[in-house]
Amino acid sequence: MYDCKQVCVWDAVKTEICVIRSSDLGNEHHVLLTVDEMGLVSLFCFHRESFLLIKILNEVEDISKRSTCVEVVLSSGGDYAGVLLQGNSEVWLEVYRLPKDSWLKETEKSSGAAAGLAFREKRSSWTSVESFVSANKAEAKLSLPVLVLKVKPPKPITGTNFKSPLDALKKVDDGSMLGLGHNHLIKDSQWEQHEAIFRSIYREFLEAEGESESKDEVPRRATFHFLLPSWILQGGTDIKVQPDVPASISVYWDGSHNLCFYLLNRPLKERVDADLKPDVVWPCAAPIACSAVSSWYLALACEDSAITIWDKHLGYPLSVTVMPEKRPIRSIHFLQSAAAASSETPCPGTDPPSPAVELLVLCTDGSLYLLRASRAKKPSITLLADRPEDPNLAVTAVVPVLAFPSAALVFSWDGTVSLMNTATSQMVCCFNSPPSHAVASPWQPVFTLDTVNWCLLLRGDEQQTDALAQSRASHSTIFLFYFNSYPLEEAFPKKPDLPFKSLQNLSLFERCNMFLRDSQQCLVGLEEQLPEYWSRLQARAAGMDKESQKIKGQKKP
């Protein structure tokens, strides 16, 4: 990065790379996933000074059966890869286990011969570099990834074919209480009657909204997160888990109320192509709009503007909050502070202050909020940036900055990129590109944060002044901003670190004590509210009693 020297080249003719995902495997190895303009997903292993193409995950011989990639996600340690694919009339999610341990061994065996060839080719011309890449491509025979899950969208709920409750119970063979709603006893005629009654009552509202018939529409997008082992999803004693390796994946589809969890280390008893059922289903009161995951917490924002923060390790909700004025939510992000993002938990017996969870909430109208929640206090919402009168000043994207506590990058519609201190709601500084360039796609900026070197990499496109220049392809430039080049430490004072102890090493007795202590803290102040609740209940009961006596009096002759 400092000398701008070329390390290696992978050259594919007439191929445009649109998406890149990477993860460090250690020992000078990286795994890369790329998506080109045709929607093909390529899996690479980058070792020292060579690219090794392992496999094109969705390549097929029959072009009519080709699928395109909609989304691709790599787990943090490079153990798993999730690929959302779309075919002619269907969409599905494929999850692969990446044999990174085998790759480390296989690349080390062939590194000696490749190193000698690389030394000779680096002293040659550009054409020899391409031949070197071709040689590496031909010699690369690494272990292939293993397809472990294939998840399809939930089928629409239709009338039942069961003749009795016993037939429905036979379908629930795992003893679970909640599912996707297919094992019910409602007939098609009952669905039709309920729909007819609903439409007759709310006909004027449906006509005003201009409702379109889209019953059979299949969801086209899914949001999924790889989750480390926790108490949310237990795989049983026969399934071995590692603390730093994902054990499950959470999936929800557009317009769905259900958050589904799937085990990644499940025994491969059934075919991958079979209709896979989720291991756990969380039904929500409204369709899920967006989500966020940290190593400790899981946050869900629904279309009714309610946000639920779950403690993954203890397995219960930390808080449920509704946004002011029920503003629709566009995105949520955990602030990566020491307390909120750590996978560690306070040491039992020391009773440190309960860690506060801080969540950045961006609404669809451009307003930005900070949600704080903890086990001991009620959640609070702070307005960081209100909905502006000028649409060009509206916030389009926000992302936490790991380098400083309570820091977040804020992108505006006019191309402004600012660093905000969310603790004070103040803009600390702005990152400006030269006048000849503007931030590429301010409504969907192209950027990344380098957490190792503490820098921001931002794409800017050359501004075109005349019509002839606008017709030509614009030149893009990557601008580099180093955080340590500016006196930012004073604007973001570090918070004192609390003593932490790994939750994975706690015994069941210590976990129970923690759960009871947190429950007791939640009850603090409840005694003061009980008289008010009791008076409301008494007033309500008295009103119902008067109403009942009034009805009885009217019935007397």
| Domain assignment present for 518 | yes
| Domain assignment present for 93 | yes
Look-up of token digits 């899950």: 149
Which among 102, 135, 151 is the end of a domain? 151
Prediction pTM value: 0.77
| Domain assignment present for 434 | no
| Domain assignment present for 223 | no
Q: What is the dihedral of CA 162, 167, 173, 179, to 10 degrees?
A: 40
Give the residue numbers spanning the domain of 104: 17-151
d(CA 522, CA 537): 22
| Domain assignment present for 351 | no
d(CA 316, CA 121): 58
Which among 151, 184, 206 is the end of a domain? 151
Identify which of 428, 384, 430, 368 has the alpha carbon closest to the alpha carbon of residue 404. 428
If phi > 0 it is left, if psi is from -120 to 50 it is alpha, else beta; for residue 484 that is alpha
* Residue partners of 73: CB distance under 8 A and separation at least 6: 21, 81, 82, 224, 225, 226
Contact between 359 and 408 (Cβ < 8 Å): no
Which among 106, 127, 151 is the end of a domain? 151
d(CA 9, CA 50): 8
| Domain assignment present for 10 | no
Per-residue pLDDT, 182:
76
Identify which of 240, 302, 293 has the alpha carbon closest to the alpha carbon of residue 267. 240
Question: Residue 264 burial (CB < 10 Å; 0-12/13-18/19+)?
Answer: buried
| Domain assignment present for 366 | no
Identify which of 172, 18, 47, 181 has the alpha carbon closest to the alpha carbon of residue 115. 47
Instruction: Report the number of distinct structural domains present in the chain.
Output: 2
Per-residue pLDDT of the chain (557 residues; tens, 9 = 90+): 567 778 788 877 778 888 899 988 888 888 999 999 989 999 999 887 778 889 999 988 887 788 999 999 999 889 999 999 998 888 999 999 999 888 888 887 766 555 544 444 444 333 333 443 443 444 557 889 999 999 998 888 888 877 777 777 766 655 555 678 777 778 888 888 888 888 888 887 777 666 554 455 556 789 999 998 877 776 555 567 787 889 999 999 998 999 999 999 876 555 566 678 888 888 999 999 999 998 789 999 999 999 999 988 777 788 899 999 999 999 999 986 544 434 344 343 333 334 688 999 999 999 999 999 987 778 899 999 999 888 888 999 999 998 888 899 999 998 999 999 998 889 999 998 888 888 888 888 989 888 777 889 999 988 876 654 554 556 788 899 988 888 887 788 776 554 445 555 567 777 777 777 766 666 666 666 777 777 887 888 788 778 777 766 665 55
Rg, Å, the chain Cα set: 28
d(CA 151, CA 307): 26
pLDDT in tens, 278-287: 888 889 999 9
pLDDT in tens, 140-191: 578 899 999 999 988 888 888 777 777 777 666 555 556 787 777 788 888 8
The two three-digit tokens of residue 76, written as one number: 């943090």
